[in-house]
């Protein structure tokens, strides 16, 4: 697996020289860049093949310099699990197939252009940066629902996360039977389910299971008041 770092990021984390990319399989290559929000770094990690993206906030330059591959792997694992619903065994198989992580230069103009476009689009989403959590689940979810042109024909448009699943199928990491695997509940879905629960309605089965599975509490602070959170907690307990 290769992580292609931009010159801007290398300068920020004080990395002097990087080798040229060698990996031929674009699905195992990721581009990494950053921007600044509230005086801290917001990291963009984008797959060179599918454009599957992970967005994180508040990681220090020093931590990235010491362990960028480990940090990136953890974030990618979380996005694959929460955003698409990839089974843990398939995620392990993907990283095993990708091999040892290396830091390299970026993987060409197209891959960098895709990442740059994502970074330009992100401010237009009108989504807040949650400064008390690292993995930006709402921004990551929106990025992976983006539609892009993936072929010469007018109708060759794809959703980013579907392209990622197709790459995993092509590599033999997941089977065709898992093509329509359930994905994690999106941020918008969760907000809708909160409203349903507060009104006494039954939640959809997959989202209810996701809610019961536990969510970073800091995330709910941006959706619910303390009383609402307690009410939701009690309602979920009734459904167990």
User: CATH number of the domain that 143 lies in?
Assistant: 3.30.420
* Cα gap 184→81, rounded to integer Å: 7
Helix (H, G, I), strand (E, B), or coil: what is residue 20?
Answer: coil
Same domain, 75 and 129: yes
Model confidence, pTM: 0.76
Is there a single domain that holds both residue 170 and residue 191?
no
The confidence score (pLDDT) of residue 105 equals 96
Instruction: Give the pLDDT confidence score for residue 104 in this predicted structure.
Output: 96
Which string of b and e fits 21-37 if b means at least 16 CB within 10 Å? bebebbbbbbbbbbeeb
The closest of 179, 177, 183, 180 to 210, measured between CA atoms, is 183
**Average pLDDT along the chain, 240 residues, taken 10 residues at a time:** 96 92 95 95 97 97 96 96 88 96 95 95 88 92 86 78 91 69 48 61 55 47 58 62
pLDDT at 13: 95
Under 8 Å between Cβ of 34 and 8: yes
Pair type for strands 29-37 and 40-47:
antiparallel
| 154/193 same-domain check | no
**DSSP character for 210?**
H
**119 and 209: one domain?**
no
10 shares a domain with 99? yes
User: CA-to-CA distance for 73 and 119, rounded, in angstroms?
Assistant: 20
Residues 166 and 198 in one domain: no
Domain span at residue 139?
2-178
Number of domains in the chain: 2
Which of 152, 178, 204 marks a domain boundary? 178
**Residue 150 shares a structural domain with residue 230:** no
**Any residues with CB less than 8 A from the CB of 30 and at least 6 apart, and which?**
1, 2, 3, 4, 45, 46, 47, 48, 72, 76
| Residue 193 and residue 160 share a domain | no
Whole-angstrom CA distances from 57 to 51, 53, 71, 140, 215 are: 19, 14, 12, 11, 18
Question: Residue 222 has what pLDDT?
Answer: 46
> What integer pLDDT is reported at residue 217 of this predicted model?
46
β-partners of residue 29 are 2
Domain boundary, last residue among 138, 156, 178: 178
Q: What is the pLDDT of residue 64?
A: 96
Q: Residues 123, 196: one domain? A: no
Same domain, 130 and 224: no
- Same domain as 196, residue 171: no
Same domain, 24 and 72: yes
Angle at 235 between CA 233 and CA 240, to 5 degrees: 95
C-alpha–C-alpha distance, residues 199 and 34, integer Å: 41
């Amino acid at each position: 697996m290769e992580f292609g770092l931009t010159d801007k990021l290398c300068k920020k984390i004080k990395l002097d020289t990087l080798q040229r990319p060698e990996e031929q399989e674009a699905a195992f290559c990721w581009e990494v860049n950053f921007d600044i929000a509230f005086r801290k770094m917001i990291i963009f990690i984008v797959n060179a093949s599918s454009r599957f993206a992970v967005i994180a906030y508040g990681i220090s330059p020093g931590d990235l310099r010491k362990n960028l591959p480990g940090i990136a792997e953890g974030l990618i694992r979380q996005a694959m699990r929460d955003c698409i619903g990839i089974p843990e065994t398939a995620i392990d198989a993907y990283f095993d197939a990708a091999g040892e992580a290396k830091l390299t230069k970026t993987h060409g103009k197209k891959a960098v252009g895709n990442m740059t476009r994502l970074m330009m689009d992100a401010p237009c989403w009108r989504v807040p940066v949650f400064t008390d959590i690292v993995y930006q689940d709402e921004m990551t979810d929106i990025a992976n629902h983006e539609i892009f042109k993936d072929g010469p024909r007018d109708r060759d448009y794809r959703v980013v996360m579907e392209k990622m699943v197709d790459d995993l199928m092509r590599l033999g990491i997941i089977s065709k039977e898992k093509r329509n695997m359930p994905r994690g509940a999106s941020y918008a879905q969760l907000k809708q389910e909160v409203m349903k629960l507060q009104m006494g309605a039954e939640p959809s089965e997959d989202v209810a299971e996701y809610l019961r599975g536990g969510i970073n509490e800091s995330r709910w602070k941006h959706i619910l008041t303390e009383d609402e959170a307690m009410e939701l907690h009690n309602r979920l307990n009734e459904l167990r």
